[in-house]
Amino acid sequence: MPGNELDLLRGTLDLLLLKTLSWGPLHGLGIVRWIETVTQERLQIEEGALYPALHRLEERGWLEAEWGYTEKGRRAKYYQLSAAGRRQLSAEVSKWSRYSEAVRLVLTAEGGAR
């Protein structure tokens, strides 16, 4: 793969997964595709990390998993947000915007020392 994709910051993957699933239930591959589409392939999810992350979110009770069928009639495991997951998402989103705002302030600050 060309080296132009962005590395995911630590802890961001959970947030992306929760946000993605807030639109509705998806299976693992569906999540990858959706994120790639939305970011115009600028952000690529490492598949080896995706599934452990999903299962951990399920363990913590933020996701619920259920077996369903794709349009092609294939059996796949679908994930969806639980009530606790929804609460977690809004908490993470506000945390993230505070963080990115702070980073932006530093990056756009005018140099005042000189």
Partner 1 sequence: MSDRWRGLRRVFRLPLGTRAVRGEVKDELRFHLEERIEELIAQGYSREEAEREARERFGDLHQVEAQLTRIDLRTARKRARGESWIAFLRDLRLAIRSLRRHPGFTAAAVLTLGIGMGATASIYALLERVVLDPLPFPASDRLVRLKNPVPGVEKGGEWNLSTAQYFHYREHVRELDAIGLYRLDGVNAATGGGGEGGGEPKRAHAAFVTASMMQLLGAKAIRGRLLSEADDAPGAPDAAVISSGFWRSAFGSDPAVVGKILRLNDEPVTVVGVMAPGVELPRDRGEALATPVDFWLAIRLDPAGPFGNNHVFAVIARIAPGASVSGAQGTIDRLLPQLPQAFPSAYSQKFFERYRFHTVLYPLKQYVLGDMARNLWILFGAVGLVLLIACANVANLLLVRLETRRRELAVKSAIGAGRRDLAREAFAEGMTLALAGAALAVGVSLGSTRWLVALSPPGIPRLDLVGFSSMTLWFTLGLALLIAAGLATVAALSYSGLTGFAALGEGGRGGTAGVQRQRLRGILVVAQIALALMLVVGSGLLLQSFRRLRAVDPGIDARGVMILDWYLPYQRYDSLTKVWQFHDAVLTKLRALPGVVAAGASQEVPLLSGFGCTVQGFEEPVVYDRLKEAGLTTCAGQSPTTPGYFEALRIPLVAGRYFRDEDNTAPERGAVIVTKAFAERFWPGENPIGKGVNPNGRTKPPFYHVVGVVGDLHGTALDEPVAMGIFYPIVAMPGGGRWYPSSMRVVVRTIRGDPLTLLGEIRRAVNEIDPTIPIANAETMQRVVARSMGRLSFTMLLLGIAGSVALALAAIGLYGLISFVVARRTNEIGVRIALGARPRQVERLVVRGALRLAVLGLLVGLAGAAVFARVLGGLLYGVSPLDPTAYAVSVTVLLAVAGLAGWIPARRAARVDPVKALREE
* Positions that interact with partner 1 (CB under 8 A): 27-29, 46-49, 51-52, 55-56, 58-59, 70, 74-77
Longest Cα–Cα distance of the chain, Å, equals: 66
Give 29 or 102: the residue with its C-beta nearer to partner 1. Answer: 29
Please tell me the distance from the alpha carbon of residue 59 to that of residue 91, in angstroms, as a whole number. 18
Q: How far is the CB of 22 from partner 1 (least distance, A)?
A: 21
Q: How far is the CB of 46 from partner 1 (least distance, A)?
A: 7
**What are the b/e assignments for 47-66, b being 16+ CB within 10 Å?**
eeebeebbeebbeeebbbee
E-assigned strand segments in the chain: 26-27, 63-69, 75-81
Please tell me the distance from the alpha carbon of residue 82 to that of residue 73, in angstroms, as a whole number. 25
Give 7 or 59: the residue with its C-beta nearer to partner 1. Answer: 59
Contact in structure between 66 and 58 (CB atoms under 8 Å):
no
Q: How far is the CB of 98 from partner 1 (least distance, A)?
A: 30
Give 75 or 114: the residue with its C-beta nearer to partner 1. Answer: 75
Q: How far is the CB of 74 from partner 1 (least distance, A)?
A: 6
Give 73 or 112: the residue with its C-beta nearer to partner 1. Answer: 73
